[in-house]
Structure 1
């Protein structure tokens, strides 16, 4: 018989502080977000300003913002813990926290004092951004961006179209990726610059118009197609001119971890709802949770949720320690998104006809989970990244 091994210390991922943050976010999500989501999502309503303000009070928009700038000064681990809990109730609410945490370095300001003041407001949810990169003909292929910006003195003049800009109307500023150089000898991805537009909430900048895109899910806020017709904005000196591609790519690992957290939250919500329903729903004189077919579905669903979370925690730990984890971030985004679609679909199947109504939240989780396989880099893009890291780039490329 083998000797019993000495107990080894755990990785220590879930510290007392992290458990407290998770539980606080969970209580808020279940008590304040879920009732709003159940009421507004079926009618494609928008999350109320009061809910956003409450999130600001709790510090959710400033998790990654340094303490010296008014934030919590925490890491991606805490950020993704909160994102999972919020997404378990409503993915849009789990998403909106990025409009602060991932934007605080992109503030349109004349000087450092104004920038610091706006970042403090951002940490409280009072100054939020929206990101506009995709175009009708440019998605995963960022190099095909055609929306153009030309300098005129101390201003940029932007002309062209953008697509998939969520929160464009209610944000305080827009970060728009534009082409500022057309050097035929440069790489296709070169010559892209981030241009900032400050605006009033509920309005678009002068020279910009927007049309909401009809979506099957991701309700709670609107997603826009934007048209820039010679729109002018000051040159705030943000980022390197022509260097937007590299800047965006460098931040994708955190964004993919955030999407994985949202996917896990959706899957967990569907799993929990299916568990409750299976215990209550009776057929043939028994709750359906007695039937092996249902029990095995739930067992598989629970296993997949736990597996995705374990990989996410590993990625977050690496991110917070400054380790390169491009492959692992692609893996967790890919696996969690695919898992979320499977788990939410199985949950809907367990609820049967009830799951196909808007009377239960599982259909919302299902619709939103489908999007996680598309945005922040599609599942196919993640597979390409993973394959290239394992095999090197294809010779024909």
Structure 2
């Protein structure tokens, strides 16, 4: 029998996250969107509340929750602000390769100190000429004695330049294509790694997205993750686990937009009555609500499969793709319902619409998600 009933523990953490968002994030979200800065005081509070590093096992200092619980929290946090959530939520993306392919010694060495305080991590895969085409990576790694030497430039990296730990993907031999790609662990204080240009973004502004530049960065030989040449596989396995979380954050953004549209429609009067009484508005609200419910169901299914130890490449891509498309449609409709006010920064829906767009792009554009889904269908 299938059940959608949350456990008592899941209900408790959902309430804790919801209360935290209403108290600590919603009141300052517009301010930091305008400043385009990370609210560091909120990151510290998230850490103290135990709502950070949810996916990291307890023995290494994390919370050790299951994927569905992680998705529940991600939805609540993104309801408050996608950018703020992305700052600390990005740790899941950057640390998952270590959880997948790291040795016990690597996990002990990097995870425990990392989780001892509110540190941030960065996942360094994308490059100026290597976005969807990972095989085009130009960042190089060469072995010199007992050290790896890394050189290259990464772009569009969340927490780039402010992270305490970087998971860097580089090639040991470009002629091998994806078979030359290897993953490395680079502490943020390693000489030669630093942040470059900070991006000015349409939305998602309360997160720090920048270039990461590596100039003769030397790390110990043992900082390679998995086998040499297994980096592409590690990256794809990581995305299988993290794409449903992008879906969860998209659901959070869409749900917030629906709530704002509902509130406005009940208060705004035209022709002598609230616009919520007009069928045209009710149909829009109904469509928004249906799409959100369907998106959440896809996210939870993908997470449930991961919790069962099942392969969820197709389902994760579906969850991310569908939910982010829903977030875009719902936020656009919310702006439409608010009319002229929806276009103004005094109301939150214009920010929600700007934020929603990035969910269709990062961790693989939705065109790439459809490619992944199609290939998985043909395999089946």
TM-score (norm 1): 0.88
How is 1:340-355 mapped onto 2 (pairs within 5 angstroms)?
340-355=327-342
Q: 2:353 aligns with which of 366, 369, 381?
A: 366
Larger radius of gyration, structure 1 or 2?
1
Mean CA deviation greater in 91-100 or 210-219: 91-100
**Are 2:57 and 1:70 aligned?**
no
- Contact 2:343-2:350 within 8 A present in 1 as well: yes
* Counterparts of 2:112 and 2:26, CA distance in 1: 28
Question: Where does structure 1 differ by over 4 angstroms across 4 or more consecutive aligned residues?
Answer: 111-115
2:166/2:187 contact within 8 Å kept = yes
Residue 86 of structure 2 corresponds to 95
Q: 2:227 aligns with which of 220, 234, 240?
A: 240
Please state if 1:213 is matched with 2:199: yes
Task: Name the residue aligned to 2:307.
Answer: 320
Q: Contact 2:83 / 2:204 at 8 angstroms: preserved in 1?
A: yes
The verdict on how the C-alpha distance between 1:327 and 1:13 changes in structure 2, with shifts beyond 3 A counting, is: farther
Match for residue 378 of structure 1 among 365, 369, 378: 365
Tell me, which stretches of 5 or more residues in structure 2 are unaligned? none
1:231 match: secondary structure:
strand
Judging changes above 3 Å, is the alpha-carbon distance between structure 1 residues 342 and 21 closer, same or farther for their aligned structure 2 residues? same
Which 5+ residue runs of structure 1 have no aligned equivalent?
1-8
Residues 278-308 of structure 1, C-alpha deviation per residue, up to 9 Å, x if partnerless? 1111111111111111111001101110111
Partner residue, 1:4: none
Contact 1:180 1:242 in 2 (8 A): yes
Q: Partner of 2:323 in structure 1?
A: 336
**Quick check: 1:278–1:288 contact (8 Å CA) kept in 2?**
yes
CA-CA distance at 1:48 after TM superposition: 2.1
Could you say which residue in structure 1 is the equivalent of 2:76?
A: 85
Quick check: 1:261 aligned with 2:248?
yes
1:46-65 matches, cutoff 5 A: 46-65=37-56
Residue 191 in structure 1 maps to residue 183 in structure 2: no
Structure 2: how far apart are the matches of 1:144 and 1:277? Answer: 48
Is residue 145 of structure 1 aligned with residue 137 of structure 2? Answer: yes
Contact 1:341–1:366 (8 Å) recurs in 2: yes
Query: Structure 1 residues 178 and 118 mapped into 2: Cα distance closer, same or farther (>3 Å)?
Result: closer
**Which of the two has greater helix per residue?**
2
- Distance, in Å, in 2 between the alignment partners of 1:189 and 1:31 is 46
Against the structure 1 CA distance between its residues 346 and 193, is the aligned structure 2 distance closer, same or farther, given a 3 Å change threshold? same
Cα offsets for 1:191-219 (capped at 9, x unmatched): 1112222124xxx8435451112211111
Match of residue 27, structure 1, among 4, 19, 24: 19
- TM-score (ref. length: structure 2): 0.92
Root-mean-square deviation (CA, aligned residues, Å) is 2.2
